[in-house]
């Protein structure tokens, strides 16, 4: 019986002391390259931005942000929107509020395409952005290349997208009302000019 027990013990030891396969350590996954992007117009709305980038952008939002030394203006005509669209112009006494994104680099070309970079509608500009208690340097934004001599009114659709983005992403209520007032006055002025032109034609 003792011999049988010894043989059983020997088989058990053999089966539990087999050479273990060498475990290969997997290399750490490379982090995806990212870039910071400051949106001040229709791109503040993540739903509208998704239309161009092809994926949800809510998760890439860092938060409400400020671009110092610039002011807003509708100094460009968009062939796609068929109306005046937003631009930023240097102004030491002003600032522009918007939304800071942290986007994957793979979306960069789609963003350039949306802004009409290849058509020289907008160009990239590198700026410093204040967000929370931090300054984000080397942040991308877009500036109109060939500016109009005076502002051109946005249409209702573009205005609603801009305001929806501003409200959704938490821009201050006072700023949202100021933005609404600016767009409304431009639209009223455009209508007045149209009525005057019709009256002269009659």
What does the pLDDT read at residue 35? 98
State the Cα–Cα distance between residues 7 and 28, nearest whole angstrom: 46
State the Cα–Cα distance between residues 176 and 97, nearest whole angstrom: 10
What does the pLDDT read at residue 92? 96
- For residue 115, indicate whether it is catalytic: yes
CATH architecture of structural domain 34-194 = Roll (3.10)
What does the pLDDT read at residue 25? 56
What does the pLDDT read at residue 12? 47
Is 39 known as a binding-site position?
yes
The structure's pTM equals: 0.81
Kindly tell me the burial class for residue 2, based on how many C-beta atoms sit within 10 Å of its own C-beta (0-12, 13-18, 19 or more). Answer: exposed
The single residue of 115, 151, 173, 199 carrying the catalytic annotation is 115
Domain ranges of the chain: 34-194
Q: Which residues contact 104 (CB under 8 A, 6 or more apart)?
A: 32, 33, 34, 60
What parts of the chain have a pLDDT lower than 70? 1-30, 198-199, 202
């Amino acid at each position: 019986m003792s011999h049988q027990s010894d043989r059983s013990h020997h088989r058990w030891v053999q089966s539990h002391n087999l050479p273990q396969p060498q475990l290969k350590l997997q290399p750490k996954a490379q982090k995806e390259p990212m870039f910071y992007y400051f949106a001040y117009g229709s791109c503040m709305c993540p739903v509208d931005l998704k239309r161009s980038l092809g994926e949800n952008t809510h998760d890439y939002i860092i938060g409400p942000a400020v671009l110092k030394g610039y002011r807003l203006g509708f100094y460009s005509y968009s062939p796609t929107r068929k109306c005046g669209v937003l631009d930023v112009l240097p102004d030491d006494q002003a600032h522009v509020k918007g939304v800071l994104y942290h986007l994957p680099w793979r979306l960069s070309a789609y963003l350039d395409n949306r802004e009409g970079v290849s058509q020289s509608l907008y160009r990239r500009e590198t700026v410093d952005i204040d967000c929370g208690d931090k300054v984000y340097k080397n942040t991308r934004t877009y500036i109109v290349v060939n500016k109009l001599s005076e502002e051109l009114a946005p249409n209702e659709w573009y205005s609603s997208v801009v305001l929806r983005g501003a409200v959704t992403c938490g821009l201050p209520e006072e700023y949202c009302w100021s933005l609404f007032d600016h767009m409304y006055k431009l639209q009223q002025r455009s209508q007045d000019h149209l009525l005057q032109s019709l009256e002269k034609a009659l």
